Amino acid sequence: MPGPDVRADDNVHGEMSTEPTATVHSGVEAKTERKLTVLETHGYILGRTIGSGSYATVKVAASDRHNCQVAIKIISKFQAPGDYLKKFLPREIEVVKGLKHENLIRFLQAIETTHRVYIVMEYAENGSLLDIIRKDQHIDESRGRRWFKQLVEAVDYCHERGVVHRDIKCENLLMDHGLNIKLSDFGFARGHMKPKNGVFSLSETFCGSYAYASPEILKGVPYRPQDSDIWSMGVVLYAIVYGRLPFDDTNYTQLLKQVQNKVSFPREPKVSTECRKLIVKILAPLKIRAKIPQILSDPWVNPSQATKDEELDAHPDKAESSKEEIKSVNIGTVTFDRKLEEVK
């Protein structure tokens, strides 16, 4: 499909503003000042390209309005598929407008013109989690625990508000100046997915990346996207601590077999038993797959809670006063204990 036409009133920085501009008269000839681009009229000066795809480019921009650098996703209406422009893009903008969490890339503004759509968002200056894994080969458990917990808390925030991401992967986990996780790219996200009368809505759009896709997505059956988001987080955790993906996505038939078997672990690098147990809980069949409350209270994610539980075991007299707290932490975890004995 041909790219957008470049006309006299258009340039690579976006469509020109139609607002009148001043003219400078010098003798007989009149010299017209350069018209501002649409982005410039909104206070954005484009800089270098930091990402590009078949129909979108992401650039860094200086923002007068926000007094900082921002990232601007520039989508060509000429090159983007029709269903993306009509369905997924409007849905993405609607979803991200209502989200505000320290571990989510913050949406700032959307600008639409004849030829393009611009999405202005927070700029994460330290690249992606994938960049760090490639550089360091794998992530130590101390850093991995912090980043994984930030991811789980961000996804929990989304799910509590009826938003499912559906494309969680290392490439979409960006790093801010303080090396904190920022979940990004809500292009496949859906809102209004809160359960009604205890019944969850199912998705039939099989989106995301094969390597991070849950068994139910790969089977092509309607699925509960909250559970599939959790599976994808398990793949991310495996990639963090092992520096590789748990499943080979080069062959679909083999991939489908792999995700339905118990996940296996390489000998190197050395990863704690607690971390491996958590990965098994997450990369599990749908009926016994861990839920977010279980993950957040897991001994590997929350060592302080594990220590607290040990202290209560040592001092039963304190257990009665903390009975309700213990109950809320341990709900649903006993089911997995027998199975996890196999993972050593």
Q: Which residues are annotated as a binding site for ATP?
A: 73
Q: Which amino acid is located at 23 in the chain?
A: T
Q: How many CB atoms lie within 10 A of CB 267?
A: 6
Q: Which residues are annotated as a binding site?
A: 73
Please give the backbone phi and psi of residue 117, each rounded to the nearest 5 degrees, phi first: -120, 130
Q: Is 285 exposed, middle or buried (0-12, 13-18, 19+ CB in 10 A)?
A: exposed
DSSP characters over 71-118: EEEEEETTTS-HHIIIIIHHHHHHHHHT---TTBPPEEEEEE-SSEEE
Residue from 10, 64, 136, 167 carrying the catalytic annotation: 167
Strand partners, 30: 25
167 is catalytic: yes
The encoded tokens of residue 134 equal: 């490639």
Q: 134-154 burial, b for 16+ CB within 10 Å, e for fewer?
A: eeeebbebeebbebbbbbbbb
Distance in angstroms (rounded) separating the CA atoms of residues 157 and 98: 12
Report, as residue numbers or ranges, the catalytic residues: 167
